[in-house]
Amino acid sequence: MIGVALGLLPRTLGSMRPSLNAFSPLRARLTAGRNATIFVNGDSTAYPEAGPFQQFATLLGDLHDAKVVLYRWAEWQTSAPTGPKAYADPVTLHAGTGATLTIYLATLPGAVAGNMFAEQRAAALKIPRPDLCILHQGHNMQSFETPGGILSAGRATLLGPLGMTEWQWPGVPQLITTQNPWRDGTDYDKVHQAILDLARTHPNLTLVDTHAAFLAKGKDAGLYRDNIHPNEAGFRLVARALFDSYLASASDSGFQTPCWPKLPADNLIGNGDFTDWSGSLPSGWTSSSSGSAAKSGDVVFSPSFTHSLAVYANGNQTAGLLRHFRNAEAAAMIGRTVSFALLYKNSEKQRFPYITLNVKSGGTIRTITCSSLQFSNANTTGSSGWMWATANGIAIDSDISPAGYNFYLRILPAFGSSAPASNEPVYVQRIIAVEGDLPKGNLVG
């Protein structure tokens, strides 16, 4: 059992002004003595036995006299993900006499935010509908590029998995942390800023800026085990930030976070929805390269995946699908801020798809990555599943010629430095562009 550390005792609410946030429904349930569930998607900084979410949950148990039960993902075994892709047996963190608070800690050292949405980890999501989802990711996703200071690729690493969480449990309150800064240097700063940008853009996404709590203490070395990982004192700081936000929340069962993949949208891209399509190649799309040994970029209707097309590499790492935005279609986006979203399914034996937007923004032609670091933090194989690729909040320059060829979206199913070993395809269901800072999926059901 993990005890409540001194210095983390509950504070009174007398000076706080309660506000609606993602904690509100959870607080309403626990205050009323009803059972509640929390789902946490985390990396190694959420994994230790005395980690921040164990400490936070124990504080809630103490505050509400609730029994706290933890299910921790069991895949990590000592130093590698060789264990079962399932939750370990439950552990009681706090023995209360009231309701039961259950924590599903879907955490994996070295993980990125999309790992728990791989088909191989389906057990991670086969849990009771949560009352709160927490996204605690970023440390393994800081290698994204920032062309011209654009942080869209960083936001994409989180927006896709966040959209999958919202699709899995529509309406469930969503919370995101900023994790902790790295002790030495500023390498994590761009991730922190990308998370702040995302929280400002996404409606009813609650932000707990745990990063700021470390900065307020000058990144004291006494809070760290190494350059990246907090020690138990650092975990207490994260737990304290979460608990303070909980104490400041109003008890209200009606708070929800909208599912951005379900938000209605007028698609600025013609023929970007493949829910009613068949044929060898959709109108307006072309193969992005010519294979030397076989026709590259084959596109076929795939009855095994309803409402999708399949793109095959055919041994060519640069093969793929290309959409030039031209004429009236381009004119509808030029001079505006636009967000792009693409729903795809990668294959287990193939590399992860490389999806990019080429556009003039900030006075220069830029290549903006839409799909990096979502299922893996390296260009490796071994996971398959549906995911959203995004490029959000892209300010498109007003002096682009609608008749030009430098404004396009490219989908490469097996991009790399060598020919792909597998010819498994990437499946694409829909591609949507909307005006504004937030992508919208226009999905129903």
DSSP structure string for 84-115: -SSBPPPEEEE--SS-EEEEEEEE-TT--TTG
A 10 A CB-CB count for 221 gives 9
Residues in CB range of 303: below 8 A, 6 or more apart = none
- pLDDT at residue 288 tops 70: no
- pLDDT at residue 308 tops 90: no
A 10 A CB-CB count for 83 gives 14
Query: What is the dihedral angle through the alpha carbons of 296, 299, 305, 306, rounded to the nearest 10 degrees?
Result: 170
- pLDDT at residue 292 tops 60: no
Residue-by-residue DSSP string for 246-305:
HHTB---TT--B--GGGS----SSTT-B-TT--SSS-TT-EESS--SSS--S-EEE-TTS
pLDDT at 321: 87
For residue 312, how many C-alpha atoms fall within 13 Å in the half-sphere facing its CB? Answer: 16
pLDDT at 14: 40
Backbone angles phi, psi at 314, to 5 degrees: 55, 45
In the structure, how many helices (H) and strands (E) does the chain have? 7, 17
Query: What is the dihedral angle through the alpha carbons of 77, 80, 85, 88, rounded to the nearest 10 degrees?
Result: 20
Residues in CB range of 200: below 8 A, 6 or more apart = none
pLDDT digits (tens, 9 = 90+) for 137-195: 999 999 999 999 999 999 999 999 999 999 999 999 999 999 999 999 999 999 999 99
pLDDT band, very low/low/confident/very high, at 252 (cuts 50, 70, 90)? very high
Q: How far is CA 34 from the centre of its chain?
A: 29
pLDDT band, very low/low/confident/very high, at 315 (cuts 50, 70, 90)? confident
Q: What is the pTM of this model?
A: 0.92
**Cβ distance 247 to 11 under 8 Å?**
yes
A 10 A CB-CB count for 48 gives 17
Q: Give the residue from 410, 409, 421 showing the smallest Cα distance to 381.
A: 421
pLDDT at 1: 38
Which pair of tokens denotes residue 326?
């031209």
